[in-house]
Amino acid sequence: MQVKIKTFGVARDILGSREVSWSTASKTIGELKTELQARHPALKNLNSLFVAVNHAYAPDDHVLTETDEVALIPPVSGG
């Protein structure tokens, strides 16, 4: 299946683009995160990585569909 992945912050730097179309056999967010970390090992170094699906935070057991828009939201700092 193809999913659209939007990236923010350091996740954008790691994946190299603001938005990618990702071909995956992953069925859940957890599987997708594992697949992304295998292809982009620097993602493993993040303290946390939140994932949103269709503009709402999603747990690792959330089941993906081809029409989903996934967003990778790394930790942010500021003041």
pTM for the complete prediction? Answer: 0.89
Where along the chain do its domains lie? Answer: 2-73
Model confidence pLDDT, tens digit, residues 7-66: 999 999 999 999 999 999 999 999 999 999 999 999 999 988 999 999 999 999 999 998
Residue 66: which of 27, 11, 20, 13 has the closest Cα?
27
Tell me phi and psi for residue 20, to 5 degrees: -130, 150
Task: State the pLDDT at residue 78.
Answer: 59
- The gap from C-alpha 39 to its chain's centroid, in whole angstroms, comes to 12
What pLDDT does residue 52 have? Answer: 97
Rounded distance, CA 76 to CA 16, Å? 18
Query: In the CATH hierarchy, which fold is given to the domain comprising 2-73?
Result: Ubiquitin-like (UB roll) (3.10.20)
Query: pLDDT, tens digit, for every residue of 30-39?
Result: 999 999 999 9
What pLDDT sits at residue 41? 96
How deeply is 15 buried, as exposed, middle or buried, from its count of CB atoms within 10 A (0-12, 13-18, 19+)? buried
Q: What local confidence, expressed as pLDDT, does residue 77 receive?
A: 65
